[in-house]
Amino acid sequence: MPQPTKSWVYYNDRLARYLFISSAVLVSLIILCIIWFVGMQGLSTFREVSFLEFFTSSKWSPDSGQYGALTFIAGSIGTTLIAILLGGPLGLAGAVFLAEIAPPWVRAIMRPATDLFAGIPSVVYGYVGITVIVGFTRKITNSSTGYGMLAAGIVLAIMILPTVISLSEDALRSLPGSYKEASLALGATRWQTIWRILVPAASPGILTAIILAMARAIGETMAVQMVIGNSPRFPDSLGSPTSTLTSNIVMEMGNTPYGSTWNNGLFMMAFILLVIALIMIILVRTASRKGAVR
Amino acid sequence: MKAHQANRFASILLWIGAIAILALLVAFLTLILGRGLPYLTAEFFSGSDGVRGQLFNSFYILFLSLIFSLPIGLGAGIYMAEYAPQNRFTDLIRLSTESLASVPSIVFGLFGMIVFVNMFGLGFTILGGSATLALLNLPILVRVTEESLRAVPRSYREASLALGATMWQTLRKVILPTALPGLITGITLVAGRALGETAILIFTAGMNVSRILFDVNPLAAGETLAVHLFAVKSNPLPGTNSDQIADGTAALLILMVIVFNICLSLPSRWLQYRLQGKHRG
């Protein structure tokens, strides 16, 4: 390679390159810092509280020294599952519809509409939850308030729709056209082609969509906090007030002194959320690698 | 003819699903705008409980967070698209960007609280809030930058480099201008998301508004519109018309989202049109 002239043009080029590399390194450092700081703060809970108690007891009353976070973990998992059960099939139906059935003009309306769903701030979802959905869940669960896992699950189901729809649609659209043609040429109906050929072939992408939707649901804070009822009660029914990891952090963070065991316990809950998010990213990478091998 | 009946049935079901999704959105918009629009008067902004301070803070925090995140996000995106070799180091950076994108916003909020509120001892500030918000913007910016740069045809780069331009000159004069529509769309997307963010700002920018109107002091606490909606809806102060404020604020937020979504499509289309015209000429 010929030696470039060492002019300012050359040095500018080097400088720009170093700036770009350092920005990239900085992005990596940030995630490490977050894991480190939140992790250290959270794990210091276990200086005072036993690991076993934190994860297996559902008695959370820090005033009397009881730090069992099982209620919040169960609440988070419960609401996320409800959200996926309600929003997953509907979102997948929307994706199949957009990729295979929708006439172009319907698609031209529905794509921006789902984008609009994604743009609505989560407090606004919470606001709609309080004004409308809680009244609806009060009726169907026969509970006194309507706040609880079902209300949170319904709000989350709507919030994850855009994630499920757009990622699954992308997965369906990226399949080679020959799959569909071969199936239709063999005499299969459109539905048989969708259900037996296209959806299975796109399953790694659809799985990715579902996992990312779950990650969004479990980490969602404001909307859930507004409709969950915020009582540290184990979620034993769909319509009784309870708490999730995120809602409890919002409720108690302001009232606890920084560095106390109670406060550290809240950071531990955030660390659990962070670890769940990281595990989901690894799952997504495995799913997409499997998809690439196919 | 069972298969054909199943086919008919499934098609009808899928149509119903799609209509349900659209109906849900229409119901959302009519509910929020229907309840809130009547309250959006001059009094709503500048009255004694007016939200002009929150509105200002929303855009001020958004502006600062973009100043923090744009250079780093664009830089990292440019590196990933143009320079990064296929190796472990690149893979690590890609993994960390993806991980950063999946971090729940409340975890960012608590991280910002440890760093800015407690370690630096600033308390709740606009500065801390926007710096933490910048972390939320970063992974999206990196991804969007990388995608828009990759969409630029290879031949553009080759032509420029073959003429003896350095990589930096090629980037500045050829690649970035061509990728501009995509970049602007991406930045609008980021801005729309940051405007509605709440969980981060509760723990870093606080829930108070400065008594000085349009206070640009970055060390003051700064409640945004979204945080305000949360505050009035979850802890309504007795004796205030908090329900009306909540209705109006929600409608205002939705209007902002709609405007951003329109902005998302318009300028990029216009730019694309203009740039393509230029290339031909």
Q: What is the least distance, in Å, from the CA of B280 to any CA of chain A?
A: 29
CA A67 – CA A261 distance, rounded (Å): 9
Q: Read off the pLDDT of residues A81-122 as tens digits, 9 standing for 90 and up.
A: 999 999 999 999 999 999 988 888 888 888 888 888 888 899
Domain that holds residue B162: 40-280
A109: left (phi over 0), alpha (psi -120 to 50) or beta: alpha
Residue B280 has pLDDT above 70, yes or no: no
Residues A128-142, mean pLDDT to the nearest whole number? 86
Q: Does B216 touch chain A (CB under 8 A)?
A: no
Dihedral (CA of B222, B225, B227, B232) sign: positive
Which member of A20, A123, A285 has the closest CB to residue B229?
Answer: A123
Q: Read off the pLDDT of residues B151-175 as tens digits, 9 standing for 90 and up.
A: 888 888 889 888 988 888 888 888 8
Give domain status of residue B252, yes or no: yes
Q: So what's the pLDDT on residue A2? A: 55
Number of structural domains (chain B) is 1
Cβ pair A126, A152 in contact under 8 A: no
Residues B180-208, mean pLDDT to the nearest whole number? 85
Give domain status of residue B1, yes or no: no
Residues B89-95, mean pLDDT to the nearest whole number? 88
B281 band by pLDDT with thresholds 50, 70 and 90 = very low
Q: So what's the pLDDT on residue B23? A: 92
B180: left (phi over 0), alpha (psi -120 to 50) or beta: alpha
Residues A32-48, mean pLDDT to the nearest whole number? 90
CA B230 – CA B204 distance, rounded (Å): 15
CA-based nearest residue to A273, from A69, A129, A85, A83 = A69
In degrees, to the nearest 5, what angle opens at C-alpha A277 toward C-alphas A28 and B123?
70
| Average pLDDT for chain A | 87
Chain B environment of A110 (Cβ under 8 Å): 18, 21-22
Chain B environment of A195 (Cβ under 8 Å): 10
Q: Report the 3 state secondary structure along chain B.
A: CHHHHHHHHHHHHHHHHHHHHHHHHHHHHHHHHHHHHHHCCHHHHHCCCCCHHHHHHHHHHHHHHHHHHHHHHHHHHHHHHHHCCCCHHHHHHHHHHHHHHHCCHHHHHHHHHHHHHHHCCCCCCHHHHHHHHHHHHHHHHHHHHHHHHHCCCHHHHHHHHHCCCCHHHHHHHHHHHHHHHHHHHHHHHHHHHHHCCCHHHHHHCCCCCCCCCCCCCCCCCCCCHHHHHHHHHHCCCCCCCHHHHHHHHHHHHHHHHHHHHHHHHHHHHHHHHHHHHHHHC
Which secondary structure element, helix H or strand E, spans residue A60, and what is its range?
strand A60-61
Coil vs helix vs strand at A58 = coil
Cβ pair A246, A80 in contact under 8 A: no
Phi, psi of A66 (to 5 degrees): -110, 120
DSSP, res A244: -
Q: Which residue of B has its CA nearest to A215?
A: B102
By CB atoms closer than 10 A (0-12, 13-18, 19+), residue B163 is exposed
In DSSP notation, A72-103 reads HHHHHHHHHHHHHHHHHHHHHHHHHIIIII--
Give domain status of residue B28, yes or no: no
Q: Read off the pLDDT of residues B258-279 as tens digits, 9 standing for 90 and up.
A: 888 787 767 666 666 666 655 5
CA A124 – CA B198 distance, rounded (Å): 10
Which member of B100, B198, B264 has the closest CB to residue A27?
Answer: B100
Which member of A25, A226, A274 has the closest CB to residue B234?
Answer: A226
Cβ pair B127, B218 in contact under 8 A: yes
CATH of the domain at B113: 1.10.3720.10
Residues A242-259, mean pLDDT to the nearest whole number? 87
Phi, psi of A60 (to 5 degrees): -110, 95
Residue A294 has pLDDT above 70, yes or no: no
Q: Between chains, do B233 and A127 touch, taking CB under 8 Å as contact?
A: yes
Residues B48-57, mean pLDDT to the nearest whole number? 80
CA A210 – CA B195 distance, rounded (Å): 26
Cβ pair B186, B265 in contact under 8 A: no
Q: Does A108 touch chain B (CB under 8 A)?
A: no
**Looking at domain A70-258+283-293, which CATH architecture does it have?**
Orthogonal Bundle (1.10)
Q: ipTM higher than 0.90? A: no
